[in-house]
Amino acid sequence: MRLGLAFSVIFSTLFIDLLSKWLIKTHIVPPLRVIPLTSFFNLVLGYNRGMSFGLFDSNNLYAPFALSAVAIVIIIVLSTALWRSNSLQHRLGFAAIIGGALGNVVDCLHDGAVTDILDFYVGEYHWPAFNFADAFIFCGVIALFIPYARESTARP
């Protein structure tokens, strides 16, 4: 089954992301909003009403729908690429990106914002909070580019 593993990655990614956000929102963080776990990592409860790193942040009533529509178009394009791909690594990369994007779309349409729960920092410098969907999207993009990086380093 050529796409079975890809569908498993999509649904696993979606499940892990939505479950983690639900657990944080309902059982772990609400009374505190920040739970320090290590000297470089906190669990947090934050909401991003824009795109990556708050880009296009808006309190407009229709913003979640507009951003979700853009994400759905991207999901459709990536699904086509996944379907056409003959590379296992590319299919897994596309699947991770699609699953992560779906997680953020579901969250955005349900809550009007994407829930961010992971906060890494060094000293006073905090990386913008993110969620597992964002991490899966990042890993998927890396999976797509690894073959090209290998190819460019292999050339004399």
The whole-angstrom separation of Cα 57 and Cα 110 is 17
* φ/ψ bin of 123: left (φ > 0), alpha (ψ from -120 to 50), beta (otherwise): left
Question: Which DSSP string do the residues of 13-37 spell out, in sequence order?
Answer: HHHHHHHHHHHIIIIISTTTSEEE-
The model's pLDDT over 17-73, given as tens digits with 9 standing for 90+, comes to 999 999 998 888 766 688 889 999 999 998 888 665 555 556 667 778 888 999 999
Residues 6+ apart with CB under 8 A from 66: none
pTM value is: 0.87
* 134 flagged as catalytic: yes
Check 17, 107, 119, 134 and give the catalytic one.
134
3-class DSSP assignment, residue 63: helix
pLDDT of 35 reads: 87
Amino acid at 74: I
Least confident residue range of 14-18, 55-59, 101-105, 141-145: 55-59
Check 17, 107, 116, 119 and give the catalytic one.
116
* 17 flagged as catalytic: no
